Structure 1
Amino acid sequence: MKILNLLLIVCVVTVSSCASDADDTTPAEPQLIIKLKFDPTQARLNNLGQPSTIPAGNAAQSPTIRRMSANYIEFAPSPTTLLGQGEIIFTGPETTSGGNNAINFQSATFAGNDEVFLSIPLSEVSNGNYDWVRVSLAYQEGDITFKAANGNDYSGTLASFVGYNTYITSFNLNGSSFNVNANRLQGFWAFEALGFASQGQAPEGATTVPNPLFNSSPIPQGSCVVTGPFANGLTVTGNETQDVVVTLSFSINNSFEWTEVNFDGKYEPTAGEQVVDMGLRGLIPIVEN
């Protein structure tokens, strides 16, 4: 009897082990992976998605983006698909803590260059053919160069709140704390360099938001929904067995723009030069094979 019981125990353990091994080899569900890329060589576009030059009296530079946050991502099947009627794959957290509805900065998702911003099961994406992507940008943080009062060039860190409205409790740039505890509209910025910090507000409507579908699918003023076309479209069949990776390539080609006081092409805040534009200058979604 003891031998029989021992054999039964061995069989149960063996079967359990096999079941466990089988579970371990179950293929993972294919994911839709969204990555970010910041390209200083990509075309510099205006609000209509057309090539843009720097206005007379202004100057600009291409920042080095450390990280970015978006609050909304949507795939659109056609040029006439209105905002909100496509396939919404991501919506960030919002709050009314500051009064009007706003992006909740403290709970936002961030990613840097060539980093994954979002990963969701492909089963959560409706089957279909998509030709366009819309991304509502919320925040970008990166390094820019500037000329100090002593005539030397230095590097500083710029935080750009480009979302339609953002509730901010506090944030930190290179050890400098900014306590806000309020909503801030699109164009709010903060700057830190050499241990000194400042903040300000770009003029209303000054942030560039490229939308090549301006005539067929307009976006609300101040929403910062950047629109870009897939080169060969994106097709989701529901039969995918591998991950689908989409890289959102944003143009940072001279995306930081200011008014010139000293016409030397260098940002000089101590001379009274004012930030007028921090918007990204175009979007190309790339499906990786």
Structure 2
Amino acid sequence: MKIVVLNGSPKGDTSVTMQYVAYIRKKFPDHRYEILNVAADIRKIEKDAAAWNTTLDSVRSADLVLWAFPLYYLVVCSQYKRFIELVFERKAQDAFAGTYASSLSTSIHFFDQTAHAYIHAISDDLGMKYLGFYSAEMRDLLQDEERKRLEKFVSLILTAVQEKVPVQRENAPLVWPATTYVPGPSQKILDTGAKKVVILTDSDSSSPNLFAMTDRLFKTFSGSVEMINLHDINMKGGCLGCCQCGYDNTCVYTDGYIDFFRNKLLPADIIIMAGSV
């Protein structure tokens, strides 16, 4: 059986999550494993057509796809989310459709279920046959009972794939609404007074409704109100999980985010986050 591991850690092979995968490979050596560092290599996958096509070819050849990731603020990291977005943006769902899937996470057991529910729904949207998840505390691998639990989980998953057990979709497909938002007549203008209002959005050409709604909202206020588009902020990338900020609260990135955070968000009395789901 070929198992393709979609590594959702920006740390690549050195991540804690991949140590669990290494343990699985040691205990179940009769299978072929291919690890794709899709989070760490997201820039290359996004820009290099050959890298993108190679990734899809690997997924197509898999008997089982293992979504393996650490938790970043209740869900997967932004680099992993970007990879998932690319699959849908480039209409590459066929590479995943019909393949068995499972997920493995490492964390401090804080809202693990949120991340796995997300991956389960993504798997359903891709037409995959999702078999379940394993949620590990980062240090579980050091405990004999937890290692046994992991082995039992993997054994059950592999047996399900080998026996081709039927899997029913649990998440209904999402249908994007075809409605067009048309702003209503002007209402009473709200004076912010001494309060500073910031409208934070990621609006772009793909979401005309969001643009129209945020524009209408912006015009509802008078006074100190500012609308900021995340696309206009100089951010080099998502969190790398390096934990360097733990020493002195300073990020390893040298970009425009810190100035934006300190000068725009911190002084705000009201922050309105506007985005498309």
TM range (shorter): under 0.3
- The structure with the greater share of residues assigned to strand is 1
- Higher CA-based Rg: 1
- The structure with the greater share of residues assigned to helix is 2
Name the TM-score, length of structure 2 as normaliser: 0.24
Which protein has greater RCO, CA pairs closer than 8 Å, 6+ apart? 1
